[in-house]
Amino acid sequence: MPSTNQKKPRAHFRRVAPDDRARQLAEATLRCIQKKGSAGISARQIAAEAGVTQGLITHHFGEIGELVAYAFDVMSEGLLEAIMAATEAAPNTPQARLEAYIQASFSQSFFDQEVLRVWVVFWGLILHSPRMSSSQKREYSGFLTSIERLLIDLAANEGFVIADTRLAAIAFNALLDGLWLAWCLNPEAFRPEEGAALCRQWVEGLRRGASAQHQAGS
C-alpha cells in the first residue's frame, strides 16, 4: 500500500563557509579518485562522497573540471609544503636538509600507495586540462627551485661542482617521481628505504663529479 502519501521532508543541512565547503569537496574528490581512479570523477559520486547534493558543486565551482583542478591544487600544494616543512625542521646543514628531503619523500606520509594513486591519475588528467596544466607548471617549478637550492648549498659546502644545477634538479626530481610511480604500480619491486637509498646514491654520483661528464653535445 503506497497510500502513505506523506511527502518526505526536505533534508536538513548546515551552511558552511564557501572556502571550507570548497575544501570539503576537494577532499571528497581525492577520496573518489583514490577509490576508482579517473572513473571516480563525477559530480554525483563526489557529491555523495561529501554528503551533499550535486547542485552544490555547480554552485561553488561551475563545472566539474574546476573542482578537480582545485583538488589537484590542494593536494599539490599540501605535498610541497609538507616536504619543505620537514626540510626546514632539519639541522641547518646542507647534508641534513637534503637528507630530510629524501626521508620525507619516502616517509609513510607521502610514499603511500593511496596517496600516489591519486597523484598518478592527476598526471594523466593534466595533459588534457589547461587549467590543471598551469597549476602543474607552477608546482613543478616550486619543486625544482627547492631541490636546486638544496643541491647548490651541498655543492658549495663540500666543494664539488655541478655543471648545471637546473638540470641536476630536474634529474633528481625525475628519479623521485619515477620511483614513486614504479613503486605505486609495483609495490613489491622495492622497499621505501631502498628507494631512499637510490636517491642518496644519485647524490653520491653528483659528489663524485658525474655531472661534469658526458654533457649533451660534447
Partner DNA sequence: AGCGAAATTATACGATCATATAACAAGGTC
Partner DNA sequence: GACCTTGTTATATGATCGTATAATTTCGCT
- Given the rule CB under 7 A, which residues bind DNA? 8-16, 18, 21, 41-45, 51-60, 62-65
**Residue 94 binding its own copies, by CB under 8 A:** no
Residues 6+ apart with CB under 8 A from 51: none
**Residue 130 binding its own copies, by CB under 8 A:** no
Residues 6+ apart with CB under 8 A from 184: 113, 116, 117, 119, 120
**Residue 126 binding its own copies, by CB under 8 A:** yes
| Residues 3-42 contacting its own copies, CB under 8 A | 36-39
- When CB distances are held under 5 to 8 angstroms depending on the partner's kind, the choice from its own copies, DNA, none that residue 137 binds is its own copies
Tally the residues of the chain.
Answer: 218
**Residue 197 binding its own copies, by CB under 8 A:** yes
**Residue 112 binding its own copies, by CB under 8 A:** no
Q: 3-class DSSP state for residue 166?
A: helix
How far apart are CB 142 and its own copies at their closest, in Å? Answer: 13
162: amino acid identity, one letter: I
**Residue 136 binding its own copies, by CB under 8 A:** yes
Q: Is the dihedral of CA 172, 174, 176, 179 positive or negative?
A: negative
Contacts 24+ apart (CB under 8 A), 89-93: 93/157
**CA-closest candidate to residue 104, choices 83, 80, 89:** 83
**CA-closest candidate to residue 104, choices 122, 85, 120:** 85
Separation CA 82–CA 68 (nearest Å): 21
- When CB distances are held under 5 to 8 angstroms depending on the partner's kind, the choice from DNA, its own copies, none that residue 60 binds is DNA
How far apart are CB 42 and DNA at their closest, in Å? Answer: 3
**Residue 120 binding its own copies, by CB under 8 A:** yes
Single out the segment in contact with its own copies by CB under 8 A; choices: 53-61, 87-95, 114-122, 145-153.
114-122
How far apart are CB 106 and its own copies at their closest, in Å? Answer: 10
- Which CA distances in Å does 126 have to 32, 87, 114? 17, 27, 19
**Residue 125 binding its own copies, by CB under 8 A:** yes
**Residue 204 binding its own copies, by CB under 8 A:** yes
Q: Contact, 45 vs 32, CB < 8 A?
A: yes
Footprint of its own copies on this chain (CB under 8 A)? 36-39, 117, 120-128, 133, 136-137, 140, 144, 167, 170-171, 173-179, 181-182, 184-186, 189-191, 193-194, 196-198, 200-211, 213-217
